[in-house]
Structure 1
Amino acid sequence: MLIKNPPLNAGLILALLVAAGVYLYTTRTTGGYELVATGANPRAAAVFGINVKRMFVFSIVLAGAIAGLSGVIEVAGVQHRLIVGLQHNFLVLGVIIALISRGNNLAVPFVAFFIAILEIGASAMQRTMNVPIEMVFIVEALVLLFVLLSDVFRRR
């Protein structure tokens, strides 16, 4: 535990380091460029000689390693025990964060922090004022909808 009140553990620093590492890898290395190119257009990447299957496997392994690391941080640093059904909505939140950040690796920590504030605030509002926690899903959906609709209106 780095700070007792509010509870802050070393997982935050580790998560920021991983986010910075992914950003540097995807923007400063040839492997990162190949990974981004394969994700953007696999056929064009294959035409330019990038091994698309290897990049797909690498991206899945990298995503799995980062997801496993986040699980270790949650269990070892926050809960201190394994709980069945622990944060079953992490996948949905990850997709929401990825869509709101629009593929910008530098924006992911800030968007994740914003979503975390919404989730924690919803939990506190449910405990204190009996507001349904599903209200935060509506707010997250509206934010996501407006971000995605901004692309539609920008193209017109």
Structure 2
Amino acid sequence: MDPAEENSSKTVDIYRDTWVRFLGYANEVGEAFRALVPVSLVWGSYAVATAYVTADAVDKGKKAAVAHGDNPGKTTRVAVAVVDTFVWQALASVIIPGFTINRVCAASLYLLGRTTRWPLPVRKWTTTAIGLSTIPFIITPIDRLAQVVSVCMCVSICAYTVH
């Protein structure tokens, strides 16, 4: 098969393979801007990221339901798909990166206050720039960590449902 045909026949996952994936990073951007914007905007960014995570989990549940048809154990497999996706995405897209960017920004604002004589607005904008520039570097390690945690949780869920 021609590589061009192979790529065109591959199913595109809207939540992983398109611009929609960036909605999962909304809270990281919100955390980077925390020093400059009202906290309600930061919480709004968490709402966007959580909506993304929820939509992805529902989508994976629907796909699992279609894939398993009327086979025995369909409900369990769909539940595992939804829970696995939700836990993994919540950890990888919302909880761990949000906390990480929050702490990077808090530490940088504190250190800039202790080590420079820059005016507060300059320190806040610098903190935001540091937070935004940190995002690309934390994505892959956090995805790997979240995958390990998610697998452990799904194994626990499966073991619980068997017994």
TM tier relative to shorter chain? 0.3 to 0.5
Larger radius of gyration: 2
Q: TM-score, normalised by structure 2?
A: 0.37
Q: TM-score, normalised by structure 1?
A: 0.38
